[in-house]
Structure 1
Amino acid sequence: MAEHEKLRKKRRRNEKTEEKNDTNKDIEKVNVITLVSRESRGFYTVQSTLEYKLLKDDKDAHFSCEVSFSVPGAIRTMESHSINITIHYPTTMVELWKDSPQGLVKEGDTVELRCQGDGNPPPPFIFSKEQEPDMVLDSRGNLLTLSSVSRKDSGIYQCRPLDSVGQAEVKGEVQLTVHYLDPAFVVPKDLEVMLKGENLVASCNALSSLKTATVWYKDGKQVGYSNMLHLDDATYETSGEYVCEVTVPSLPSLHTSGSVHIIVQGGPQVVGVEEEVQLEEVAGRMVNLSCEARGHPPPSISWNIIGSQNWQEVMSKASDHVTHSMVSVKVNSDVSAVCNATNDMGTEVKVFSIKAIPRVTRTPPFSPVEGSGVIIVVIILCLLLLASLGSVLYFLHKKGKIPCGRSGKQEITKEKPTKDDIVVEMKNNPKNEDAVLLKAVNGEKKGPNDQ
């Protein structure tokens, strides 16, 4: 579009120059012929003819004539309707620009080039490529459509009006650049086997017409930010698929990717082998032991169990690099279990030590319900004891072993009555009143004469 604007400005400058040159020639291109005749009745007929040399600048001009005549005391004028004259002129300037798409062009796009000239009527155009000027491209009117372009379609395109044949060459030009990004090329390719502890440098490149950016991914996480990926001191965690993605920052729709699968080869590596496993379990119970080993080729796992004949493997599974096994062991005595992980590169073991704990019979805990029963029994026994004591005292009283009567005053205790003593007077017969005094403390009975 920038070239399009430049061509427009150039055309305006040329038009202004032509106007300035034609101003001096205005007098030469205009000629007016006027004929006046008088009729027998005294009327006048005026006929005026304009001879005008038309130019391209007059394509939008309108022409009309004006008549002036005298009336008593004034001069009047009348104007005819105006007319526009269609002017045919050859094309002297042509513009060519990229109509679509907007912005940069990439391989696979559909491109439209539009051509426009200043001739009237608008002439048909022929399109060609500067590298192949004799090959006419298939176009429709002033539009050239290039479908699914590739890098070979890049170049300078031209358009020419058909009415310029035999004249000085009039044409429009535009530069078309089709950008591209080739498939990514990864080294090493597809699959690479390396030993544990080795180093590896992988590269990812893609040919492009624009500046590119490369990012490496493993399991969806970014692990590198350039076309070179360094893998140092390889471990089993290094194994996996590495994907490189190449993009064009200035043209995001251009992108490509490649990958390499890394396999780290080495002897078995048992998870947690550096820690001695010591367990305690109650005798008679079952315990599960788990063993996981990594390596390539995938290791096989076997068990050697001493101290128990009752055991079995309850789970076994293996993937490309990991083998997992679990056994269930009944603990009757102290047990020593050994997990053996083996492949073509070596062997590694892991030991489990299980100490059997004897079963212990425990005294059942105190029950609140049972405790309540014991309390009730104790209360009953106390009541029975009190009842027996009361019977003995009553027997001794009947035998006279405990002196007590109305005629004599016997003191059971030397303590004086206190204010806390309770005196109860009971009347049985109005004629013969007996007062019985009851002490709340010692229970002594006294007659009315003893007061």
Structure 2
Amino acid sequence: MSKESVLAAFASFLTISGVLGDFSMTAPANVQVELNGTLELPCHSSIDTKDSMIMWFIDEPLTGRQRILHWEDEMIHKDAVPNYKDRISLDMTETGAPRLLLAPARLIDNRIFICQVVASRIGSKEAITSVLVYERPVLEVIFINQSMDADGSMKTVGSCFARDGFPEVQLIWLMNRTILKPTKDVELEKQQVQKDQSGLLTVHLDLRLKLYPSLHLAHFACFMRSHIPMGNQTVMSNEYRLNLNYPPTEVQLFVVNSPKGMLLEGERVEMQCQADANPTPSYHFYYNNVELTGGVSGNTLILPDVRRNQSGNYSCQAKSKSGPELGVFTSTTIHVTWLEEARLEPAGPLTVNKGENVTVQCFSNSSHTPKYQWDKGGKKIGRDSRLVLRDMKLSDSGQYTCTSSHNAGHKLVSSISLNITVHAAPQSIQNESEVKKGENTKVKLICNITGYPRPSIKWEGASDPVNQWDVNKKQLISTVEVLMPAVPTHIKCSASNQLGVSTIKYVLNPIKDISGPGATRALSDIRGVVIAAVIVSLLVVALLGYVLFYTYRTKKLCFSHKASFKPTSSSQPPGETNGLNEGETTRLRSA
């Protein structure tokens, strides 16, 4: 009976777990052991081994089941089976779990083992275990390292071997860590297997490729895959590369320190020429179609101090013995950017008079149109190359800076400054000042003058001035102290420079002191005058009151008499009066 038929017959018994009568038994369905190791086959039962007989069988493909050992009456009995009698033993140390030991394990042990337990008056049971004996193969790659022409022909480039292993493993070729599959450019024949006398296998797989220049940089490796637990189930070889000969088909030229070709004048420039060819081609450099010899080293051209006149077209030629006679060309254009130092017209320093206009022109030659900016004291005052200052004042004195720049690939900046000094005649805020204080008190007189060059100060009527000069404000402050005189006095401060004179007049008016003896007599006189004036005023008021009163009384009496002396009736004789003559009546009215 063949091994396959036995496996099929016992497929339903890979793990036996059941009950026949009063006992059960189990055994592992599969056991794997490395070649020359110890094979252990346990057989567990639920009854006491004293009351049973245990037997182990092997399945022979030709003769069928054959017993190799049995346990009975607490004794081990080995059957005379070739290749087994001297290698088998029985371990009964664990109750109810005898183990068949087979050492050293050999490839002939790749078969079915059967454990059978027979119990008197109960019956028998058995379990099947499939044994696999394996050996780790050795991976070996033979890769062609001799140079070959990349002409598109199909050639064997490598052979992969898995030597002296068992069972058969799978070999796989990789390119750049990706599994290669058969195509019109890749041939992978079915792997070949050879068995030696001991039964170990050697697996062989060749790699055939059409050779193209694109394979020059590819990495190849052989990958071994196994489906049994032989330590690492996958093993990969080292990586290999093909040594292919091919002429240059494409060439590249680039500037190392400026990919866009924008360079600063004075920089060190390095150009590299690269061509995909093997062996390395020879390189030739050209500037405006004229071959360069200086600064060339291999595939590199160095310009240690590039100048503006070196802008232009640079070419590279790559030539190979196996390629076309003229080789392959490529070119690039470099632009050297530059900015000359800024200059001014007029260059300065400048001296102008107050009220004048000033025009300064800033120039800067450059590879690109520059931008300009004017500054004074950190403040931007203009964005044109020309600076125009009108009606100059003293405060306009100072340093003016022109900055030229451009951003064509690189930031280039140049700055230049000039000083402008404004001259002005002395000038004061006021021309005359009056000071009033008590006699003999201290008076501080301040002469505040602006002008440049620094004015000189002269006091008339005062001495020992204290002068303070503010060079930034072009301001001179001169201070003197005097005693207020007894009578009005004039003091003069004069400031002068070569452009003019400015004068301030101070009028000192003393205020009389009312606390002395003379002041007391004057005060007494004033008091007498005031009293007399008050008396006269009172007399005038009294007289005025009397006149008004007299006038009022007179008018009232007249109205009273008119009412008393009306004409009587006609009984009074004509020509008679009331005892008064005309003159008396008149006096009465007057009264």
Shift of 1:350: 1.7
For the residues of structure 2 that align with 1:282 and 1:361, how far apart are their CA atoms? 12
For the residues of structure 1 that align with 2:220 and 2:284, how far apart are their CA atoms? 34
* Corresponding residue for residue 344 of structure 1: 498
Question: Is residue 300–residue 323 contact of structure 1 (8 Å, CA) maintained in 2?
Answer: no
1:298 maps to amino acid? R
- Any residues of structure 2 matched to 1:237-256 within 5 Å, and which? 237-250=395-408, 253-256=411-414
Shift of 1:183: 1.1
| SS of corresponding position for 1:171 | strand
* Corresponding residue for residue 314 of structure 2: 157
For the residues of structure 2 that align with 1:145 and 1:172, how far apart are their CA atoms? 17
For the residues of structure 1 that align with 2:382 and 2:215, how far apart are their CA atoms? 69
Residues 92-123 of structure 1, C-alpha deviations (whole Å, 9 max, x = no match):
22100122146642223333322210111333
| SS of corresponding position for 1:152 | helix
Residues 196-249 of structure 1, C-alpha deviations (whole Å, 9 max, x = no match):
322222111211122322111222222222111111122222333221111224
* Corresponding residue for residue 96 of structure 1: 253
* Corresponding residue for residue 36 of structure 1: none
Gaps in structure 1 of 5+ consecutive residues: 1-18, 32-48, 65-80, 363-451
Find the partner of 2:466 among 304, 311, 314: 314
Change (3 A) 1:345 1:128: same
* Corresponding residue for residue 147 of structure 2: none
TM-score, normalization by structure 2: 0.44
Shift of 1:349: 1.1
Question: Is residue 105–residue 177 contact of structure 1 (8 Å, CA) maintained in 2?
Answer: yes
* Corresponding residue for residue 479 of structure 2: 326
1:235 maps to amino acid? K
Q: Does 1:304 align with 2:456?
A: no
Find the partner of 2:449 among 284, 288, 293: 293
For the residues of structure 1 that align with 2:348 and 2:409, how far apart are their CA atoms? 28
Q: Does 1:171 align with 2:317?
A: no
Shift of 1:63: 11
Question: Is residue 110–residue 148 contact of structure 1 (8 Å, CA) maintained in 2?
Answer: yes
Change (3 A) 1:115 1:85: same
* Corresponding residue for residue 352 of structure 2: 194
For the residues of structure 2 that align with 1:51 and 1:218, how far apart are their CA atoms? 79
For the residues of structure 2 that align with 1:22 and 1:163, how far apart are their CA atoms? 19
* Corresponding residue for residue 393 of structure 1: none
Question: Is residue 319–residue 328 contact of structure 2 (8 Å, CA) maintained in 1?
Answer: no
* Corresponding residue for residue 556 of structure 2: none
Shift of 1:186: 1.0
For the residues of structure 1 that align with 2:514 and 2:351, how far apart are their CA atoms? 57
Change (3 A) 1:230 1:84: closer
- Select between 293-302 and 183-192 the one with higher mean Cα deviation: 293-302
Question: Is residue 343–residue 416 contact of structure 2 (8 Å, CA) maintained in 1?
Answer: yes
| SS of corresponding position for 1:259 | strand
Question: Is residue 319–residue 325 contact of structure 2 (8 Å, CA) maintained in 1?
Answer: no
| SS of corresponding position for 1:237 | helix
Change (3 A) 1:58 1:200: closer
2:436 maps to amino acid? E
* Corresponding residue for residue 436 of structure 2: 280
Question: Is residue 341–residue 364 contact of structure 2 (8 Å, CA) maintained in 1?
Answer: yes
Gaps in structure 2 of 5+ consecutive residues: 1-149, 154-183, 188-205, 223-237, 517-591
Change (3 A) 1:125 1:282: farther
Change (3 A) 1:112 1:280: farther
1:342 maps to amino acid? S
Identity %: 26
Change (3 A) 1:288 1:114: farther
For the residues of structure 2 that align with 1:147 and 1:271, how far apart are their CA atoms? 64
For the residues of structure 1 that align with 2:504 and 2:403, how far apart are their CA atoms? 42
Residues 34-53 of structure 1, C-alpha deviations (whole Å, 9 max, x = no match):
xxxxxxxxxxxxxxx99998
TM-score, normalization by structure 1: 0.57
- Any residues of structure 2 matched to 1:1-400 within 5 Å, and which? 54-59=211-216, 60=218, 85-101=242-258, 104-130=262-288, 133-163=290-320, 167-250=325-408, 253-266=411-424, 268-273=425-430, 276-305=432-461, 311-317=463-469, 319=471, 322-333=475-486, 334-358=488-512
Change (3 A) 1:129 1:361: farther
Shift of 1:360: 6.4
For the residues of structure 2 that align with 1:185 and 1:340, how far apart are their CA atoms? 43
2:434 maps to amino acid? Q
- Select between 219-228 and 137-146 the one with higher mean Cα deviation: 137-146
Residues 352-383 of structure 1, C-alpha deviations (whole Å, 9 max, x = no match):
33433455669xxxxxxxxxxxxxxxxxxxxx
Question: Is residue 219–residue 239 contact of structure 2 (8 Å, CA) maintained in 1?
Answer: no
For the residues of structure 1 that align with 2:435 and 2:327, how far apart are their CA atoms? 99
| SS of corresponding position for 2:395 | helix
Change (3 A) 1:220 1:58: closer
Task: Could you list the structure 1 runs, at least 4 aligned residues long, displaced by more than 6 angstroms after superposition.
Answer: 28-31, 49-53, 61-64
Question: Is residue 246–residue 256 contact of structure 1 (8 Å, CA) maintained in 2?
Answer: yes
Shift of 1:341: 1.5
Residues 236-269 of structure 1, C-alpha deviations (whole Å, 9 max, x = no match):
2233322111122455631111223223344x23
Shift of 1:303: 1.1
For the residues of structure 1 that align with 2:390 and 2:354, how far apart are their CA atoms? 10
Question: Is residue 283–residue 319 contact of structure 2 (8 Å, CA) maintained in 1?
Answer: yes
The Cα RMSD (Å) is 4.2
| SS of corresponding position for 1:202 | strand
For the residues of structure 2 that align with 1:260 and 1:63, how far apart are their CA atoms? 74
Question: Is residue 398–residue 419 contact of structure 2 (8 Å, CA) maintained in 1?
Answer: yes
* Corresponding residue for residue 6 of structure 1: none
